[in-house]
Structures are given as C-alpha cells and as structure tokens.
Amino acid sequence: MSVMRLGYVHVRVTDLDDASRHYEKTLGLQAMGQEGPRRYFKGWDEFDHHSVVIEEGGVGLVKLGMKVSSADDLTRFEANLARFGVTTERMAAGESHKVGEGLRVFLPTGQTMELYTDMEYVGNELGTLNPHAVIRDPRGLTVPRLDHMLIAGEDPALTERMFTECLDFHTSERLITDIETNDLVATWLFAGQTSHDIALIKGEQGKLHHFAFWLEDWQSILRAGDVFAYDDTPVDYGPTRHGITRGTTVYFFDPAGNRNEVFTGSYRCYADTPTITWTMDTFPRALSALQREVNESFLTVFT
C-alpha cells in the first residue's frame, strides 16, 4: 500500500502563542520554527520536519497531508482520482513549507488533502547510530508521533470509496444505522498496519473532529490527564477505552478549541483483515466500552 501515513495536520488557532505552549509544553512536541503566521512542530520519534502546523487566525482545519512512497504512486493516484471524479491539482515543491511537490486532493467531505513524497528530513531525537531507547527528560506528554485524525462531511460513504478505490486504503471498522438500512454513519480507514490513519463521520461539511497522537500505554494516558490538570487543558472524554478500534484514549482541546486525542492499544490490520461493523443501537458501547454511555460534547463539538 503506497500511502505510508498521515504526515501532517494544519489547523487554525486563535492565539499562536497559547497554541504553541500547548503543542510544545503540554504535548511535548519539538518546535521546528516559524514561517509567516505559521509554526511547525514534530514528535520526538518523527524524522520528517513537521507533523503539526498551527496558523494564527480562526479555528479549524486548513488541510492534511499524507506521505506517499513514490512519484509513481502519485501519478497512479492522480489517474484513479480523475476517473473517480474527485478534483485534484498538482502542487509545486515549497508551496507547503518544507514539503516537496505533490497532489492536492479536494475531498468530497470538503477538506483539502495533500499527497506528497518528500519532506525535509531532520531525524528523530534519538538518532540512528547506537541510539538510546527513550527520551531521557520528558516534557509534558512527550508524544512520539502523530497517529490519525477524524473529519466530518455530508457524504462519508462516497469519501470512503474514494480512499479505498483510488488510494489503496482499507476499512477496519464501520458504524452503520442498522443492518437493514445499512447507511454509513462513520468509517475507519487504514493505509498501513494501524487500525486507522483517517476516519470519516457523517456531519457538517469540511469540519474537523480531532487529530490524535500516539502514546505507548494506558499508564501514559493516565499521565496525560495528570499533565492536563497542571496545564488547565480542558478534557472532553476519557480516559477510557473505545469499543470501536479497542483503543484506549483521552480527548482534550487545544487553546483554540480544536480537539486533540492521545491514543494507544488497538490492534494490527492487514489488507485481508475482516471489517468490523457496529450498529447504532450499540453506539454507547461503541464509543466507550467502559462508560457505555454517550458523551454529548464528543458528538457535538467540531471546528
């Protein structure tokens, strides 16, 4: 499969300094510099220049980036997407800071996605010659990397087909109304071996639900909550375990109100892994296997 991972999420924030403190001090990302009204950050275990971009002014998603193995893949994807009927445009190297040339895809759900092959290499914090195994001095959550995101739109089913038919994604889990009607409410899609790189939910066009960072274990999820208490980070939902994906999690908001998540556990997926289906009558347990009740802010806050 040629899409390797979710490479970056670029969001608007109402106050650049407040948001920087959140991403650098609370999440523990490395600050990678500023260019215009944008600041760049990466996790300690990421080797490309950045995985988070925050831009001053407003709130919500600007765009997302997915890293692709080769230029041949981009050519193949461009043809697939043209046949499918999705609008794309070629992007030149440098249009996005530190990102090479690629293909910009305008998703049916309204978001802008950039497929690229190159980003400036900076190396992770441990190095590649006889490295240590951990970051010695944690800073806040000390997240190693960006993991996935969830976006909303009017037609998640069409967008799911775009990802699976054009970009080699597979579906790990789907949430439908019921077996008889089989209308799609939400879907979780993977390009690698994690249970999802991107998920789609039926809702307001173009909106962002959350973007998530990986943590190593449940203990780290608890520690995240402890750090949030120090930094007055508002908690949305959790710590808990999702029924969907089996992942353990806690959701919280950045200083502009964009929702973040830290996530771990879940399970490994391959191209032949059977898809899991959830029906809405079981939604409370799908959302939280532990609380087994609906959290209203989780369902209603989008930016």
Partner 1 sequence: MPVMTLQIGAEPEVRLPVRTGETIDAAFTRAGYARRRKGCRRGGCGQCLITVLDGSVTDDRPVADTVLPPARRAAGGALACRAVPLGDVAVRADAGSIRCVSPLQRELALRELTRITSPES
Determine whether 209 is an active site residue. Answer: no
Q: Which of 97, 148, 170, 209 is catalytic?
A: 148
Q: How far is the CB of 207 from partner 1 (least distance, A)?
A: 11
Determine whether 196 is an active site residue. Answer: yes
Q: Which of 12, 170, 223, 242 contacts partner 1 by CB under 8 A?
A: 12
Determine whether 22 is an active site residue. Answer: no
77 or 253, CB closer to partner 1? 253
Q: Does 297 bind partner 1 (CB under 8 A)?
A: yes
d(Cα 244, Cα 188) in Å, to the nearest integer?
9
Listed residue (35, 257, 20) closest to 140, CA to CA: 20
Q: Which of 185, 256, 262, 286 contacts partner 1 by CB under 8 A?
A: 256
243 or 255, CB closer to partner 1? 255
Listed residue (155, 252, 237) closest to 204, CA to CA: 155
Q: Which of 40, 116, 237, 251 is catalytic?
A: 251
Q: Which stretch binds partner 1 (CB under 8 A): 70-78, 213-221, 252-260, 270-278?
A: 252-260
Q: Which of 4, 15, 122, 273 contacts partner 1 by CB under 8 A?
A: 15
What's the Cα-to-Cα distance from 193 to each of 85, 190, 197, rounded to whole Å? 28, 7, 9
Q: Which of 125, 196, 209, 237 is catalytic?
A: 196
Q: Does 58 bind partner 1 (CB under 8 A)?
A: yes
Q: Which of 135, 236, 265, 284 contacts partner 1 by CB under 8 A?
A: 236
Q: Does 259 bind partner 1 (CB under 8 A)?
A: yes
Question: For the CA atoms of 129, 134, 137, 140, what is the dihedral angle to 10 degrees?
Answer: 130
Determine whether 261 is an active site residue. Answer: yes
Read off φ and ψ for residue 66, nearest 5 degrees: -120, 130
Determine whether 210 is an active site residue. Answer: yes
Q: Which stretch binds partner 1 (CB under 8 A): 12-20, 79-87, 121-129, 276-284?
A: 12-20
| Residues that contact partner 1, how many (by CB under 8 A) | 23
Q: How many CA atoms lie within 13 A of 178 on its CB side?
A: 3
Q: Which residues bind partner 1 (CB under 8 A)?
A: 12, 14-15, 18, 57-60, 234, 236, 253-259, 296-297, 300-303
Which positions are catalytic?
Answer: 148, 196, 210, 242, 251, 261
